[in-house]
Homo-oligomer: A and B are copies of this chain.
């Protein structure tokens, strides 16, 4: 643990997201009052609006820890990333990224346009030395403890070296966000039944074995083991991770809507549904994204966390909590050190195997 939370500042792009700045202020209240975060916050957005919301939200008592930076533009959810970044230099997102770049903030979070956030973050902050491509990591619930799945969409065209870096990035995120000292890292592949994996996963498996001292690599797992919770980090390329993430969210919704349809088919079922309603609410709380809503863009020289566009205040508060965790764990320094070791070990292998 390096930084003290008291000296840590989180920049917040309050204008992105489907629910607007009101939800951010509610999230901030929850983060301060319920989650007891003790860092500082710099809110980027419309100053007068934010001041009014802070007053309405009864956050005036925290004025020494909350700072506002005025911005006049907002990047929409469906704007083209590069174009939006260029034309909206006074947007809340661009200004929040700039705070990170200028070391006036230690982390930033946004619920806005993912593509713009990833492009803006990568262009402004650049990668940690030795990291080729950043990776998007998320925390996923399982039958046991939650685990980190990475990459879920930053890099859809991965090399084995990229996947090895994803493993290092994911392990460091699990240490910081899930507070796991020695996370078990697995490689997502397909079964022996159908032939083992593909060229990418097979080459990655060999490289991961070589860096076993840097991370705790426990071997490949298959899709059917994904939610068992026997590992803490699951590594895949951004194409596979994105498809798995989004199809899983879709399936969760589909199962929910099918259950709802079935539960209203007759009176007996309807009564049963009323009596057991709280069970479904609790199930949703356990499996839904609110507890672990911050998805960091790992591998950059700055902590950028993406929260879902439709995040509610609980999700936002938890994203703020995770942002504080990654700062306090000095995640970026730790990644830098692990990547150096990783590249030394894997380059060593290449030299040995060279003709």
Confirm or deny: A48 has a beta carbon within 8 angstroms of a beta carbon on chain B. no
- Tell me the complex Cα distance, A157–B196, Å: 11
Q: Which residues from 265 to 314 on chain A have a C-beta closer than 8 Å to any C-beta of chain B?
A: 265, 268-269, 271-280, 282-283, 286-287
CB-CB under 8 A from A192, the residues of chain B are 115
Whole-angstrom distance from the CB of A149 to the nearest CB of chain B?
10
CB pair A242 B156 closer than 8 Å: no
Q: Which residue of B lies closest to A277 (CB)?
A: B272
Q: Which listed residue, B191, B265, B274, touches A272 by the CB 8 Å rule?
A: B274
Q: Which listed residue, B114, B195, B247, B259, touches A223 by the CB 8 Å rule?
A: B247
Q: Which listed residue, B199, B251, B269, touches A275 by the CB 8 Å rule?
A: B269
Question: A154-B194, A193-B113 in contact; A244/B242 too (CB < 8 A)?
Answer: no
CB pair A255 B283 closer than 8 Å: yes
Q: Number of A interface residues, CB 8 Å?
A: 69
Of A85-93, A174-182, A224-232, A338-346, the one with at least 4 CB within 8 A of chain B: A224-232
Q: Which residues from 250 to 264 on chain A have a C-beta closer than 8 Å to any C-beta of chain B?
A: 250-255, 257-259, 262-263
Confirm or deny: A322 has a beta carbon within 8 angstroms of a beta carbon on chain B. no
- Tell me the complex Cα distance, A154–B136, Å: 29
CB pair A156 B114 closer than 8 Å: no
- Tell me the complex Cα distance, A268–B277, Å: 10
CB-CB under 8 A from A227, the residues of chain B are 247, 250-251, 253-254
CB pair A190 B153 closer than 8 Å: yes
What 1/0 mask marks residues of chain A from 197 to 239 whose CB sits below 8 Å from any chain B CB? Answer: 1110100000000000000000000111111100000001011
Confirm or deny: A127 has a beta carbon within 8 angstroms of a beta carbon on chain B. no
- Tell me the complex Cα distance, A275–B276, Å: 10
Confirm or deny: A240 has a beta carbon within 8 angstroms of a beta carbon on chain B. yes
Seed contacts A115-B194, A143-B254; 4 additional CB < 8 Å A-B pairs:
A226-B246, A240-B243, A262-B280, A271-B275
CB-CB under 8 A from A191, the residues of chain B are 153, 242, 246
CB-CB under 8 A from A244, the residues of chain B are 223, 243-244, 247
Confirm or deny: A333 has a beta carbon within 8 angstroms of a beta carbon on chain B. no
CB pair B276 A263 closer than 8 Å: yes
CB pair A224 B238 closer than 8 Å: no
State the oligomeric state as a number of copies: 2
Whole-angstrom distance from the CB of A96 to the nearest CB of chain B?
18
Question: A188-B243, A246-B224, A271-B275 in contact; A287/B114 too (CB < 8 A)?
Answer: no
Whole-angstrom distance from the CB of A189 to the nearest CB of chain B?
8
Confirm or deny: A142 has a beta carbon within 8 angstroms of a beta carbon on chain B. yes
Question: A194-B156, A269-B278 in contact; A223/B250 too (CB < 8 A)?
Answer: yes
CB-CB under 8 A from A251, the residues of chain B are 226-227, 248, 251-252
CB pair B239 A198 closer than 8 Å: yes
- Tell me the complex Cα distance, A255–B243, Å: 19
Q: Which residues from 128 to 147 on chain A have a C-beta closer than 8 Å to any C-beta of chain B?
A: 136, 142-143
27 chain-A/chain-B pairs, Cβ below 8 angstroms: A115-B193, A115-B194, A143-B254, A143-B257, A153-B193, A153-B194, A156-B197, A188-B243, A191-B242, A191-B246, A194-B238, A222-B246, A223-B244, A226-B251, A227-B247, A227-B250, A244-B244, A248-B251, A251-B251, A259-B279, A265-B282, A268-B276, A272-B279, A273-B276, A273-B279, A275-B275, A276-B276
